[in-house]
A and B are shown apart, each in its own frame.
Chain A
């Protein structure tokens, strides 16, 4: 019994290390074969439509509601200190620094990441990737790399749109519904939001999240056992792993970016 448990543990460890090694080789191969994604940018644009444009509805609607909730909650807290005019700052900074990149990334992982894994996994299960190899076309260059770059480019754009819609939602609730002064809302926001410290760092975060989510989604699809159960398991793993990785990376990036600010 004990021997069996130790054997199982050893096997799982070896499998885990092997998988990490395979994932690293996959990532390097993807970067090395990225030429196709740029030489034939039409392929990448096509994937940007599937990963980016088709994610717009969920991103925009979620952004609007998150911003509206921020407006309500923020107003209630700020009112206690008599500084409700700072609502614009609160909404904008919360969204641009944290909620925009993080929530958009979580939604992107659920909407686009799962779709990428399922698509690549099914292409593998139905031998489409093998067929491509046999036609002397490298699937990493033709299928994987354009999807990777489409995800990396789409993610910051989606995060920016999420933040913009969120700020609009905060404005609707704060200014139009509750009656916070419109001039104070916008002017305080403009003076407090720093391009480099806030917006650029938010963009860097969303690019990093885009790289992480798309790599995980593509790898899980490529490595999925070619069965219905295998593809379903890989899709679930994409969403769970991507979400956890996004949250962990957010902490690490935030620690580096905003350390020491008053």
Chain B
């Protein structure tokens, strides 16, 4: 029987050198859902995606995708699993020396023996799905930020993956592109039967499209729930994040000595 959870993360710890980034994360992503992983910059969200993609290995704990434990896979096994995953990088990461068409065709040419006619049809279908069939012959340098993100999305779904990961898909987009990208993520997840993992700090846009949210802070999950539960949450960290308050559990000021001491005010408090 197929497991309902496509991604399972159990007690995962990870650090860069002596600096711990993730300190015992537990997370599951059910098939067919859009899951958001939220948190402030530098809290370890992108690291989580890299762990799920097998680009880095956890110090402790297990990461399972489609029932396969990434830590136990050899290089060939990892590459086989990655063919069933797509990833949208923060700024698209399109190959700048080839056209939009060739970017989307890249995986099809690398991993299949399809004739060029079939590749052409598939690429145009994927580009049509993101509204950029007309831009097939453009070079990446000729695209706006939003268009590049959509081409990267078309490329990510080229092989009809079971899981698509999005790293900050809303960063730096104008309001129109923001809405278009959000709707695309939801629509593609539903129509293609994907599972989507969205790493973001854009609360308002992502709460419109997600099924479930995990909040990460200082390497641990501090809150989780549906979009409605998150909006109604009374937890100080979630409240500060959802309402964009400058000060709260996440302080405005970087840790520093006393302000008065720094200004040499003779011990008067700031």
Are the CB atoms of B96 and A128 closer together than 8 Å? yes
Cβ-based interface call for A136 (8 A): yes
- The reply to whether the CB of B113 lies closer than 8 angstroms to some CB of chain A is no
User: Is B55 among interface residues, defined by CB-CB distance under 8 A?
Assistant: yes
**What are the interface flags for B91-104 relative to A under an 8 Å C-beta threshold, 1 for contact and 0 otherwise?**
10111100000000
A133 to B94 CA separation, bound complex (whole angstroms): 13
B91 touches A126 (CB 8 A): yes
Residues of A within 8 A of B95 (CB): 128, 131
Indicate if B80 sits at the interface (CB-CB under 8 A): yes
B93:A126 contact, CB within 8 angstroms: yes
**Of B80, B90, B91, B107, which one neighbours A135 at CB under 8 angstroms?**
B107
The answer to whether the Cβ of B243 comes within 8 Å of any Cβ in the partner chain is no
Interface residue? B197 (CB, 8 A): no
Rounded to whole Å, the gap between the CB of B162 and the closest CB of chain A is 14
- Please give, as numbers and ranges, the residues of chain B lying within 8 Å of A136 by CB-CB distance: 79-80, 82-83, 107, 110-111
A window 71-102: CB within 8 A of B: none
Please tell me if the beta carbons of B55 and A130 are within 8 angstroms of each other in the complex: yes
Q: How many A-B residue pairs have CB under 8 A?
A: 45
A residues less than 8 Å from B89 (CB atoms): 127, 130-131
- Note all chain A residues with C-beta closer than 8 A to B83: 136
Cα distance, A131 to B82, chains bound together (Å): 11
| CB neighbours of B106 from chain A (8 A) | 135, 137
Q: Does A138 contact B (CB under 8 A)?
A: yes
**B87 at interface by CB-CB < 8 Å:** yes
A134 at the interface (CB under 8 A from B): yes
Q: B26 to nearest A CB, angstroms?
A: 24
* Known interface pairs A136-B111, A137-B110; A131-B93 also in contact (CB < 8 Å): yes
In the complex, which residues of chain A have a beta carbon less than 8 angstroms from the beta carbon of B152?
131
The CA of A138 and the CA of B152, in the complex, are separated in Å by: 19
Q: Which residues of B contact A128 (CB under 8 A)?
A: 93-96
Given A127-B89, A127-B90, A134 and B82 touching (CB < 8 A)? yes
Most buried by A among B79, B90, B93, B155: B93
Say how far A142's CB is from chain B's closest CB, in angstroms: 8
CA of A189 to CA of B82, assembled, Å: 60
Question: Do residues A127 and B91 form an inter-chain contact, with CB atoms below 8 A?
Answer: yes
Residue numbers in B under 8 Å from A138 (CB-CB)? 79
Tell me whether A126 and B53 are in contact (CB under 8 A): no
25 contacts between A and B (CB under 8 A): A126-B91, A126-B93, A126-B96, A127-B90, A127-B93, A128-B94, A128-B96, A130-B55, A130-B89, A130-B93, A131-B89, A131-B152, A133-B55, A134-B85, A134-B86, A135-B106, A135-B107, A135-B155, A136-B80, A136-B82, A136-B107, A136-B110, A136-B111, A137-B107, A142-B110
A residues contacting B by CB (< 8 A) are 126-128, 130-131, 133-138, 142
Q: Which 7 A-B pairs have the closest CB atoms?
A: A131-B93, A127-B93, A136-B82, A136-B79, A134-B87, A136-B83, A127-B89
